[in-house]
Structure 1
Amino acid sequence: MLSTSTAEVRAGGLAQVERRENLLNQGFHLVRSGVLAPGLRVHRDVGAIWQLVTWGPSIAGGYRASAVRAPHQTAFADEQRSATFRELDDNANRLANSLRDRGVGPRTPVAVLCRNHGGLVEAMVALAKLGATTLLLNSGLSPAQVSAVVVEQRPVLLLADQEFLDQGPDLPADLPVVSTWADDGASGLAGLVAQGAPARVPIPERPGRTVVMTSGTTSTPKGARRPQPHGLSEAASLLSAIPLRTGERMMITTPVFHTWGLAALQLGMALHAELVLPRRFDAEQALRTIAERRVTALVAVPVMLQRILDLPAEVKARYDTSSLRVVAYSGSAMPAERITQFLDEFGPVLYGLYGSTEASWASISTPADLAAEPTTAGRPPLGTRLGILDDDGRPVPRGAVGQICVGNGMLFEGYTNGTGQPMFGDLMATGDRGRLEDDGRLYVVGRADDMIVSGGENVFPRPVEDAIAALPEVADAAVLGVPDERFGQRFAAYVVLREGATLTAETLLDRLRPKLPRFSLPRDVHFLPELPRNPTGKVTRHTLPR
């Protein structure tokens, strides 16, 4: 005979209450942002919802819904062209039919090596319509790495911007290749669209998959299988902390092959946003585009925002950026003094998302958070659970450093090599270490594998990088651990000076001594003209001189 304790009944009742409150909160944020608009254009709204029901909340279903709800609204604008949601949907149908004629079907792996542009969006939608597996390759991979990834992942087709094909990667002789930018007529992406039948594509029995390559800044890139959104709850989670609205004009400068760029694309899809897609980032051109197109939301990585800040004052003054309501960054840490500078120059528009390829998002810092505590990663958004655990998976006290573990609806499905990240119940370890303070704010102290033991002390590079970056002569800095015969390990600092500035290693260390404990001080200081970074702005630490 089964029995249920009073405590279990109460726990079950509380869980039901929490679920109801969560659904109500999701609905509130979806209505506030305009994703759901009760009573307006009922026939279109019902039609859009039906597309999501039948196709599922994939990129195919999302853009089908947008084609029904906002057919004449601009879906994207790149350097060559723009397209409405209806035009995008029509082009994706034609491209999907062309690709199907060439053997692409459900779960067929197709590699995509593109910068941000409309052809990339159309290709991703077309592949999703077919239920294919989209393998998003990092545009920063060397030709040899592209060759290695192709051998490992075994795609049946490669869609690539011509510039990457011109670099001469060693590809299998039988691998079909389609140029996706500056293509040569009928054999390129535009040719496939023109040749394709306009008929709507049947809904696949199983939704397609998206595989994102990890950044590979400290190791060989791995393929991470990204889940399809489970509904609008994931959009509601981000919208609970970042006040985006339908109809945004959203400039995505973060590469879409990166998880942050992909999340922005998916969020823009839910918002029926116009995506402004520059293929390359240039700081002044970014300001010019914001002013000319009246961009309302900018999605970037920290190094891009730092380059904007480093423009001469007279250059920044030429462009009216008052249309910006949201500037959202992710991908790496942004120095505290740069955060303060950005808020001072552009106002309370800055939002920081902390996450990873594997965990999607963990926390979001608002302008109020960043103004109060520039080093914080913020708080977990709606529907996200955050734990600071010891190595055995037990919670550590508030304020103590432990491994950051996250639970949400968009945890990745594992690496393509069959491995995954450690799990503690429904929480996934991010590989970072940090602490939660009493106010609920998260502080990231660094990657677990970046921590060094110097003279018996556990130390992380992030506070050292922040202290160096705060010096007025310094434009950029990175710190990492190197072997040390006496102390086991020591920190080495890599410093880029501002134009015209002078600073010696001795002076730099003298400035740091009042701010840092002795065991955190770098023992090597290297001055470089610039830091090596990948396309998402992360420092490629393995290429730094030792």
Structure 2
Amino acid sequence: MIQKSATTDLLARYGGRAREVARSVLVMQRAGLVPFPRLDHGVHSLIALSRFGPFVGAAKHAAALTPDRAAIIDELGPLTFRELDVQSNALARAWQADGLGQGSVIAALCRDHRGLVLTMLASGKIGARLVMFNTGFAGPQLADVAKRENVRALVYDDEFTDLLSALPDGLARYSAWTEAGSGAGAQAATPVPSVFTLIAEHSSDALPAPAKPGGFVLLTSGTTGTPKGAPRDRLTVFASAQFLDRIPLRRGGITFMAAPIFHGTGVSQFILSIALGCTVIFSRRFDPERTLAGIAEHKADALIVVPTMLQRIIDLGPEVLGRYDTTTLRIIFAAGSAISPDLSRRTEEIFGPVLYNLYGSTEVAVATVATPDDLRLAPGTAGRPPVTCEVRLYDADDRQITAPDVTGRIFVRSGLSFGGYTDGRNKVMIDGLLSSGDVGHFDRNGLLFIEGRDDDMIVSGGENVFPLEVENLLVERDDVHEAAVVGVEDETFGHRLRAVVALADGVPAGDAADAKADELKAYVKANLARYKVPREIIFVERLPRNATGKLLKNKVAEL
């Protein structure tokens, strides 16, 4: 009986995986990623991916199919897929001449532009591992990560030169972008070579594949200390189906990349867009109105953002929004932090049913995706798991929760999940699923709702409070631009709730501030349980956020 049960379980598991593979193929075919009936193109793509890794493989495949199509457009103009391929060949040869190659670690501290893209391709072609630095990191954070990751070379935009003083003197340095007047190469004691000079000086002949792909290392936000490294070395052929199953990106589209590609949101959609032969429009610095202008100019059908970027676009108001034709947009892809129900509703009112909200993390990658239909049914939902992903909830005793509307810790199985931090640590795992670090619940329709970080829970007077519920309620008001709730120590209650609020009309003072605080407290009390009412409210111009728009709760607590 035991043997029969084990055999049945095994067959069920492999039968389920076979169905997932079949469904994944259909998803990729629908998007144009599996080129039926030209299966030879598909085979070539798989070979390139296995030999060079996901990004180089995708770019090589696109260069073979549509060599003269614009792959990217940045401030310097367009670069075709062929130009990306040959220029990255030359940069790879230059780095090999400098002693970089298989197993070397290269770091990039760059905004979104061709210099970063060429760095990504060239590092992959020589089998080097690329660490993607966050442009919002401070100098000590950069130094700590560079030491831990054994970085041998750094590619950076000249605007960040002043941050590099803490880095080792022996680190090879290359300039990826020079702005007028910055002249970092001229200011340095030893001129820093430009990646574009290296490209001009070296052969662009194709290189043999490295012994094995080098891969990427994405970094966590570092909001509580030194950023952790999450390697992206593992990739299944069907990983792209996790996005394409619920987000209708299609071959040959035009993607406006507002999110930085050093972040998981940006890099995943950039690689997928390249794999689909799409043209990607870059903007080095996010500006909400320039984003609208770029969408209109290039007739983009997809916009990639983090939620704070979307909020800033919506906040431009009807007059500015009405100046630009954005009717070509079929997709607004948002990920990186929670989207409030209010922002979900306002986005549909302005742009129509085009918002796709991905929930995941640097570690688990993809967990769920909410489609426009999901968000209309339940604004603010994180949606459902796409093909090849599984999400479960567990209680404090590691027992699975299957009932609807019961809060639990969120665990994820995904083909894109990392295999552990580069320092050897890992997230908690149960039954082969990885902790996201968040808590939430499924409703009766199977839609996931995120209630907050597991470690954000505030115990006040013996009651458990997750700040996100209070924050979402406050930002539904027209007079509240953004809000954050934290717990501060209290002798009577253990912790008390403090709300930090940015009003639409600026910071009130004196009696006006007291009156507005009382008004907001009364509003929360009328809509939520008494113990969820903040005991104090502080008004600020804006909340502290990092370069990807993630709220810095440690900074909020200090206000």
Matched, 1:213 2:234: no
Match of 1:93 in 2: 89
1:423 aligned residue (414, 425, 429): 429
Match of 2:384, as an amino acid? Answer: R
Within 5 Å, which residues of 2 pair with 1:512-523? 512-523=524-535
Match of 1:301, as an amino acid? Answer: V
Matched, 1:260 2:265: yes
Deviations 1:432-460 (A, max 9, x none): 11112232111111001100111001110
Match of 1:528 in 2: 540
Match of 1:295, as an amino acid? Answer: A
Within 5 Å, which residues of 2 pair with 1:466-505? 466-499=472-505, 504-505=516-517
Q: CA–CA distance in 1 between the matches of 2:95 and 2:30?
A: 39
Q: CA–CA distance in 2 between the matches of 1:86 and 1:61?
A: 13
Match of 2:188 in 1: none
Match of 2:327 in 1: 322
Match of 1:100, as an amino acid? Answer: Q
Structure 1 residue 347 displacement after superposition: 0.3
Deviations 1:463-497 (A, max 9, x none): 00001101110111111111111101121111111
Match of 2:125, as an amino acid? Answer: K
**Unmatched tracts of structure 1, length 5 or more:** none
Which deviates the most, 351-360 or 393-402? 393-402
Match of 2:295 in 1: 290
Q: CA–CA distance in 2 between the matches of 1:57 and 1:500?
A: 49
Does the CA contact (< 8 Å) of 2:103 and 2:214 recur in 1?
Answer: yes
Match of 1:104 in 2: 100
2:311 aligned residue (306, 309, 316): 306
Does the CA contact (< 8 Å) of 2:307 and 2:335 recur in 1?
Answer: yes
Structure 1 residue 266 displacement after superposition: 1.9
Does the CA contact (< 8 Å) of 2:33 and 2:275 recur in 1?
Answer: yes
Match of 1:252, as an amino acid? Answer: M
Match of 1:341 in 2: 346
- CA RMSD, 1 decimal: 1.8
2:122 aligned residue (120, 126, 133): 126
Match of 2:452, as an amino acid? Answer: G
Match of 1:52 in 2: 49
Does the CA contact (< 8 Å) of 2:375 and 2:381 recur in 1?
Answer: yes
Q: CA–CA distance in 2 between the matches of 1:44 and 1:488?
A: 63
Match of 1:236, as an amino acid? Answer: A
Within 5 Å, which residues of 2 pair with 1:262-277? 262-277=267-282
Match of 2:523 in 1: 511
Match of 1:35 in 2: 33
SS in 1 for 2:166: coil
Match of 1:174, as an amino acid? Answer: G
Q: CA–CA distance in 2 between the matches of 1:365 and 1:283?
A: 23
After superposition, the Cα gap between the structure-2 partners of 1:221 and 1:48, relative to the gap in structure 1 and judged at 3 Å, is closer
Q: What number of residue pairs does the alignment pair up?
A: 541
Structure 1 residue 268 displacement after superposition: 1.3
Which deviates the most, 346-355 or 14-23? 14-23
Does the CA contact (< 8 Å) of 1:227 and 1:411 recur in 2?
Answer: no
SS in 2 for 1:262: helix
Does the CA contact (< 8 Å) of 2:507 and 2:540 recur in 1?
Answer: no
2:9 aligned residue (11, 14, 28): 11
Which deviates the most, 503-512 or 488-497? 503-512
Does the CA contact (< 8 Å) of 2:507 and 2:539 recur in 1?
Answer: no
Structure 1 residue 541 displacement after superposition: 1.7
1:237 aligned residue (242, 245, 248): 242
**Unmatched tracts of structure 2, length 5 or more:** 186-190
Q: CA–CA distance in 2 between the matches of 1:387 and 1:330?
A: 20
Does the CA contact (< 8 Å) of 1:144 and 1:169 recur in 2?
Answer: no
Q: CA–CA distance in 1 between the matches of 2:342 and 2:521?
A: 19
Match of 2:555 in 1: 543
After superposition, the Cα gap between the structure-2 partners of 1:486 and 1:273, relative to the gap in structure 1 and judged at 3 Å, is same
After superposition, the Cα gap between the structure-2 partners of 1:246 and 1:334, relative to the gap in structure 1 and judged at 3 Å, is same
1:24 aligned residue (13, 22, 25): 22
**% identical aligned pairs:** 37
Structure 1 residue 14 displacement after superposition: 2.9
Structure 1 residue 540 displacement after superposition: 1.3
2:394 aligned residue (375, 389, 397): 389
SS in 1 for 2:174: strand
Deviations 1:225-281 (A, max 9, x none): 1234221x1111210010110112111111111111111122112212111111111
Structure 1 residue 111 displacement after superposition: 1.1
Matched, 1:82 2:94: no
Matched, 1:444 2:450: yes
Match of 1:406 in 2: 412
Match of 2:520, as an amino acid? Answer: L
Structure 1 residue 297 displacement after superposition: 0.4
Match of 2:385 in 1: 380
The normalised TM-score by structure 2 is 0.93
Deviations 1:16-41 (A, max 9, x none): 4323321221111111101112135x
Structure 1 residue 47 displacement after superposition: 4.1
Structure 1 residue 294 displacement after superposition: 0.5
SS in 2 for 1:95: helix
Match of 1:23, as an amino acid? Answer: V
Structure 1 residue 9 displacement after superposition: 3.8
The normalised TM-score by structure 1 is 0.95
Structure 1 residue 536 displacement after superposition: 0.7
Q: CA–CA distance in 2 between the matches of 1:345 and 1:324?
A: 12
SS in 2 for 1:431: strand
Match of 2:285, as an amino acid? Answer: R
Match of 2:143, as an amino acid? Answer: S
